[in-house]
Amino acid sequence: MPKVKSQKFGYAHDRAKNASSSTASALTTRAMAPLFKKELGQHILKNPLIAQNIVEKAGLKCTDVVLEVGPGTGNLTTRILERAKKVVAVELDPRLAAELAKRVQGKPEQRRLDIMVGDVIKTDLPFFDVCISNTPYQISSPLIFKLLEHRPLFRCAVLMFQREFALRLIAKPGDNLYCRLSVNIQLYAKVDHIMKIGKNNFKPPPQVDSSVVRIEPRNPPPPIDFKEWDGLMRIVFVRKNKTLAANFKTTSVLDIIENNYKTFCSANEMMVESNFDIKEKVMNVLKSVGFAESRAAKMDVDDFLKLLYRTLTMSSAANILLKQFKELTSNPVPGFTVALPNDGNVFEWDVGIIGAPSTIYEGGYFKATLKFPNDYPYNPPTFKFNNEFYHPNVYPDGRLCISILHPPGDDPTSGETAAERWNPTQSVESILISIVSLMGDPNCSSPANVDAGVMYRKDRDSYNAIVRSQVEASKKDIPEGLKIPTSTDDFVVHKRQIEDEHDENFWYASDGEDVDEDMEDYDVTSEEEDDEEDD
């Protein structure tokens, strides 16, 4: 049987074949070029198994309205339409939007697909239950915050991002990628990593791998002003491995805080003391929450919330105290005087208690200090006499023991009920009136000064003699121009008429002012303190 001769081709044939193959490849490339634009982040997912897995991770219901951002040619869209009630697809490129429309034209799914052509960041989004997106890399961060700001809140979002960006979203304290983005997202949502996707699963392939994450917003969201939160994060994450004390000691940060503080004082008619030191005030706040030596890279969301709440609580307490101080100074109450110390610290008042007429304290003027906690009025202040004050309810060092200044709640040890102890509805005026009343009517059942309590019960004459000597000694402290009441009528506390104040903005939240929108631009390398505060 004759053998079949193999056909041989010469060099010219091989050259023609290669040229034909190159021409076909070039034609294919030219055909793809107009369809996909890399500058718009158009990398179409071509792996059907991955597309199916993404849709399954979304946990779609037959009643769900799904928002799809960047549908492209519809490889994900068709699978979403199989499970959801409706799909709202937002596509920036009109050509791809037309391709998607052709894909469902004449099919039952066409009625359940709503295509919106435009920039999703600038578009008013309709209601949706779930968001699914093969996200263009350049809008990753704006898209997340756009979704989290949307109301009503969605149930979940399954989003594909550049892998490094996705890892930043899920980073935990101590991770190298842990940053301001990590904290901001985890404040408002729970973020889980779903899968890693290689770059060869896209057409045209991107230069990096991708990851899919699932985002579930916290509902309700935390009740904070994001501008205040983000302002704090911008400061502490400028140098995340430095201590908070080092970050807050930089000149640029202190200048901003000092300007804000002076504006606050001016608005509330407070005098800024001559020896004012903003650095000292800032350090006191950090030390009060125990975070002065902490580093942002190691702190979690709860730590930052604690720091923010303490700062805001101090601001709120300061406003409350300023209002009460102005009321007491503009409408003085018989029985006591109030003033701020020379440094203008609104959390520490100089008080003068005036002895009531017809009592052994008549004519006396007893200086004292009233100190308020940062979380006032949720916790009580402390009261201490600065000069000698012999009384059953005053400790030898001058500290006053009175039920209304004890921490709130029942105390089984002392037998005091919550009704007898501190209540946030108490005011400075009611506190001082109670103290004036206690002076002439001590509680000897559980004395702070046992000797004074025993003497008050068993040797009243000796007790009165000690008190009278202290009254005489106190008269040297009477401020110039202060009239000491000499009759009971002058000492009666007349209840003032409370004006019915109408605030038309009562039901509206204050927008607040951001401390700084450009914290990234801080010139932290030029600060003299930086090298000194490495620890």
Catalytic machinery residues: 401
CA distance 370 to 404: 14
Residue ranges of the binding site for S-adenosyl-L-methionine: 43, 45, 70, 91, 119, 134
C-alpha 421/C-alpha 411 separation (Å) is: 9
Nearest to 391 by CA among 433, 326, 437, 338: 437
Question: What are the backbone angles phi and psi of residue 143, rounded to the nearest 5°?
Answer: -65, -45
H-helix segments, 33-139:
48-57, 77-81, 94-104
Question: Exposure pattern of 75-85 as b/e (b: 16+ CB <10 Å)?
Answer: bbbbbbbebbe
∠ CA 515-311-256, rounded to 5°: 30
Please report which helix (H) or strand (E) contains residue 491, including its range: helix 488-491
Phi, psi of 294 (to 5 degrees): -80, 160
Give me 246's structure tokens.
């080092």
- Distance between CA 109 and CA 97 in Å, rounded? 15
Q: Which residues of 258-271 are buried (b: 16+ CB within 10 A; e: fewer)?
A: beebeeebeeeebe
Q: What are residue 191's DSSP bridge partners?
A: 215
Radius of gyration of the chain (CA): 36
Calculate the dihedral angle through the C-alpha atoms of 272, 276, 281, 283, rounding to the nearest 10 degrees: 160
Do residues 103 and 74 make contact, with C-beta atoms less than 8 angstroms apart? yes
**Which amino acids are annotated as binding site, given as ranges?**
43, 45, 70, 91, 119, 134
Q: How many CB atoms lie within 10 A of CB 134?
A: 26
Nearest to 287 by CA among 250, 329, 246, 245: 245
